Amino acid sequence: MPTSSDRFSDIRPYNDDEIQPAIQRVINSDEFIDAIVSFRFSKIAKFTGFLLKPLLRQYFLYKWRSINSIDEMQQVVGGYVQHMIDSTTTKFTYSGLENLDANKNYLFVSNHRDIAMDPSFVNWALFSENFKTVRIAIGDNLLSKPFSSDLMRMNKSFIVKRALKAPREMMKAVLQLSDYIFSSLQSDSSIWIAQREGRAKDGHDKTEPAIIKMFYMNGKKKKVAFNDYIKQLNIVPVAVSYEFDACDKHKAQELFDKAQTGEYKKSEFEDIESIVRGIIGQKGHVHVAFGKALDEDFEDPEQVASAIDQQIYQNYYLHPSNFIAAKQNLDSVSEADKATFEQRLQGMAPELQETVLKMYANPVINSIN
């Protein structure tokens, strides 16, 4: 486990010397092996689980035995990402990196549609153009199991503490997070963070000013003027767009249940299931649009949030699915694309279809408002 000798030891990604011990903990975790069996071999797990579990453990011991650094782990993850792109997308494209400097660190503030895939696609685009990959902000709500925390922190993720309730502890955690983000940017790494807590289930991307306030906590403590501090962060808005959201039906179900009953209760493994669904689900064409670093003079967090939103709305790549749902620019949409989207809708309960249409239509509405 990380030592307590640095002030970020409980939230930062693992260092090279912590990788192999973390791997051993993950492989020896019964919950990790059970999760793999449950998701990958669900149809035969009931009858052959007792045989699969030791075989899986041996497989991972063999596969990961020689990984001893962050770079080596990134290479392994890169192989998985390449396979995912090949098998679940029809095309992957990106734009805007020509406006950025590969030798600088940036705070990439991204819209949020998929728990694991958003930063993965951002990283793949950066890697493709010889930029350094980012450190990824991930909420502790996704790390309820020790093995999931180990897996994420092995892959350059750092923890955003959301489960704290006591005001003093919450303030301490926000200050630590703000300090960590600034320290990373000033030293050796760019950062990816979502523009809001939780995915935009309705397709309406909106930056929470609270995120900007968190960025500035460290500057406020050091008595740096708001505008000066924000400029030091090198904030770059990023718009990730999916032709098809692998979790669209499930997001719509959550929104429908909330509208009907006023609440929605997640199942124990729902976040993990969403991650798996996002990874293996068909996504069609995926595009990552990098904006330009914010260099205006800002007076408050609301102005910064608005500037991020503006770039995300303008740069968001609109797919045929978006135009069909919004009933806009239909002349540019092929009959094949119309049929594919119609077939997708028909696979959903009638009460969910209207919600799904709004989900795909909102980016079009935002782009023209």
DSSP-derived secondary structure for 123-176: HHHHHHTTPPPPEEEEEGGG--SHHHHHHHHHTTEEEE-----SHHHHHHHHHH
Question: Strand, helix or coil at 236?
Answer: strand
CA–CA separation, 217 and 211 (whole Å):
10
* 233 three-class SS: coil
Q: Which long-range contacts (CB under 8 A, 24 or more apart) does 83-90 make?
A: 84/120, 84/279, 84/280, 85/124, 85/286, 88/246, 88/279, 88/280, 88/281, 88/282, 88/283, 89/282, 89/283, 89/284, 89/285, 89/286, 90/243, 90/284, 90/285
Element (H, E) at 344: helix 335-346
Q: How far apart are CA 339 and CA 32, in angstroms?
A: 40
**Which pLDDT belongs to residue 291?**
98
Sign for the pseudo-dihedral over CA of 114, 116, 122, 128: negative
d(CA 278, CA 250) in angstroms, rounded, equals 11
For 117, the token pair is 């895939």
Kindly report the backbone phi and psi dihedral angles of residue 12, in degrees, each rounded to the nearest multiple of 5, phi listed first.
-75, 165
According to the model, what pLDDT value does residue 48 have? 66
Pairing of strands 235-242, 284-290: antiparallel
pLDDT of residue 4: 41
H helices of 204-300, in order, are 209-221, 226-232, 248-261, 270-280
Q: Which residues pair with 159 in a beta bridge?
A: 138
Per-residue model confidence as pLDDT tens for the chain (369 residues):
444 448 999 999 999 999 999 999 999 998 888 878 777 776 665 666 567 888 999 999 999 999 999 999 988 888 889 999 999 999 999 999 999 999 999 999 999 999 899 999 999 999 999 999 999 999 987 777 788 889 999 999 999 998 888 999 999 999 999 999 999 999 989 999 999 998 999 999 999 999 999 999 999 999 999 999 999 999 999 999 999 999 999 999 999 999 888 888 777 667 778 888 899 999 999 999 999 999 999 999 999 999 999 999 999 999 999 999 999 999 999 999 999 999 999 989 999 999 999 999 999 999 997
Other CB atoms within a 10 A radius of the CB of residue 288 amount to 25
Q: What's the token pair of residue 3? A: 């030592």
Alpha-carbon distances, residue 212 vs 54, 154, 181, 216, 306 (angstroms):
47, 27, 12, 6, 11
Spatial distance between the Cα atoms of 313 and 67, rounded to a whole number of angstroms: 40
Domains recognised in the chain with CATH numbers: 16-317 (3.40.1130)
d(CA 53, CA 59): 10
Check residue 143 and give its pLDDT. Answer: 77
- Token reading at 134: 């980012």
- Give dist(CA 272, CA 136) in Å, integer: 17
Amino acid at 293: A
Contact 137, 160 (CB under 8 A): yes
Nearest partner of 304 among 230, 205, 232, judged by Cα:
230
Rounded to an integer, what is the distance from CA 309 to the centroid of its chain? Answer: 17
CB 208 within 8 A of CB 305: yes
Which candidate, 35, 48, 8, places its Cα nearest to that of 275? 35
Q: How far is CA 319 from the centre of its chain?
A: 20
pLDDT at 46: 60
